[in-house]
Structure formats: structure tokens, C-alpha cells
Chain A
Amino acid sequence: MDEGDEIDGPIETEPAPWLSSVAARLDALLRLPQDWDGYGGAPISAEQATRALDFLLRLMRPTTARPAIGPLSDGGLQVDWHRGQLDVEVMFSEGPNAGLYWLDLETGHEFEGPIDTGIEGLRRLMDRLEGDLTTTTHVAA
């Protein structure tokens, strides 16, 4: 952008209401020790946590419900939503399980494949993953 160019539309400077809790969740999972699950689980990889956060920042709106975020025993992470008649599961892993899955329970349509291939299709369904604003810290202007 050159000096003097006009900006179209407002610039969002407020962080999304879900961001701090998601970051805290990732931080807590990054502190899990070796064998955190009693099955020999590996500590969570900072690289996978970064990938997960980057994915969420690309996908989520300020009003999107927080996803479930859980550890995988290979050191990866799983991000889920099961709401709005959508099942969404995203695995961030060095192994073969990395990828995106979503199932629209209303239509039966589903996707399973690489995250970058499926994210646009999922983006069109994000209205269905809206959160309950009464349970967030978001304050309307």
C-alpha cells in the first residue's frame, strides 16, 4: 500500500473473543509431559501447535464457537467442532493422520483430505459453527 491510499472498510484491531482461551489451551497442551496419557504419548509439538493456531486464525470468525482442542499421542493435535449439524475434525500431525474431515449431517456431504484443499469448502459452512455469544467475553459496541 502506498502512502495516501484510502482504506476500504474498517480495520479490525480487537482480537477475536476466542483467541485468548484458545492460546491458553494450546499453551497448556504444550506443557504435557512425555507419557501424558499413560500410553507413551509424546509431548505436543510446538510446530503442530503453530499450525493449528494458524489454521484457526485463517478459518474462524470473531463469533465462531471455540473448537475442542485435544492432544494426539504422536505429539500432534486434534481440533473438533460437533455442532450445527456439522462434524468437523482436523488433525495436525507429522504422521499420516494429518488432514481435515467434515460431515454435513443435514445433507450427508462430507470431505476428507488435506487441510489446504478442504478449508474453502469448510469456510462456506462457518455460519453453522457460530458460538453462543452470551458465553464469550465479547462485548458489543
Chain B
Amino acid sequence: MSPPDDASIDNATCLFRRVPPQQVTRDRNRGTLRPMSGHFLGTEMSVVLGDQLEAAGRSPESAVGRHTDDFLVCGTAQCVRDEEQGVVHTEKDDEAAHGDVVGNKPKPRARRFANGARWVIEPPTDFEPFGG
């Protein structure tokens, strides 16, 4: 069964997701810092919808809300729909632009999300994650 999907959310819409510092890993094979794949598990994955931010005149960076120590990545609605996910707007008290990426996320899919995520607020140059 297909997950719920709001067709009014355009495929080009950016989906922003906070990344706590504890879930950043150094990928020496690709020369990057990136979120750990475990950050993208769960049937309902919280995101902030870019179209809602834009309509409210908010910046992408505001998607971190009160979690100002966190970093921020984005992908498009198209990217997650290509992975058999739905995107829905699920407004919350503390985030009117809140949405969910809905669908089964086996580990290979979570790894693809981790590798494909693009930093919006990236770790500073002196940020050194543990190990890796």
C-alpha cells in the first residue's frame, strides 16, 4: 500500500531536516562530513516544508527552530518520492511548516538519504565528530 502523499506539495519543494551534532560522521572515503544513516530511519520522519517556509517569508535556516546547536540538511520531495515515500503537511504547535516523510525506510534507503543529503547549515570547519 502506498503511503499517504499530498500531491499539492510540488516535487521541487525542499524538505529540511535538523541533524543533531551527535549524528554527524566523517566519511573519509568521500571526503565529507554527513549525517549518519540512522538519522533517516522511522516510518514517519519529521521535516520542515520549504514551500511553507517560503509562503511565511521565513528563511531555510529558521527550520532549526529552538535547536540552534543543530545542523540542517535538505533534499527535495522528488528525491523522497522516488524512494516510495509520501510527503504530508503536519503542522505542529511549535512549527507551522512541519511535515512528515511517510513510508518504510529500510537501511539501504536510509543510507541513500544520508549520502544524498545536502547541507544547508553545515558543521563549522573546526567541528570534529567522534571517530570515523
Q: Are A69 and B70 in contact (CB under 8 A)?
A: no
B129 on the A face (CB < 8 A) = yes
Q: Are B107 and A91 in contact (CB under 8 A)?
A: yes
With A69-B130, A78-B37 as contacts: A89 and B111 at CB distance below 8 Å: yes
Give the size category of B's interface with A.
20 to 34
Give the complex CA separation of A39 and B25 in angstroms.
19
B20 on the A face (CB < 8 A) = yes
Contact with A along B6-48 (1 / 0, CB 8 A): 0000000000001010111111111000001110011000100
In this complex, which of A25, A36, A78 has the most chain B Cβ atoms within 10 angstroms of its Cβ?
A78
Interface of A is mostly: mixed
Q: Are B107 and A68 in contact (CB under 8 A)?
A: no
| Chain A residues whose C-beta falls within 8 Å of the C-beta of B70 in the assembled complex | 38
Give the complex CA separation of A73 and B22 in angstroms.
11
A43 on the B face (CB < 8 A) = no
Q: Are B131 and A66 in contact (CB under 8 A)?
A: yes
B124 on the A face (CB < 8 A) = no
| Chain A residues whose C-beta falls within 8 Å of the C-beta of B22 in the assembled complex | 29, 32, 36-37, 70-71
- Residues of B that sit less than 8 Å from A by CB: 18, 20, 22-30, 36-38, 41-42, 46, 65, 67, 70, 107-108, 111, 129-132
A-B contact pairs, 9 of them (CB 8 A): A22-B131, A25-B131, A68-B25, A68-B132, A71-B23, A82-B25, A83-B28, A91-B38, A101-B107
- Residues of A that sit less than 8 Å from B by CB: 21-22, 25, 29, 32, 36-39, 65-74, 76, 78, 80-87, 89, 91, 97, 99, 101, 105, 112
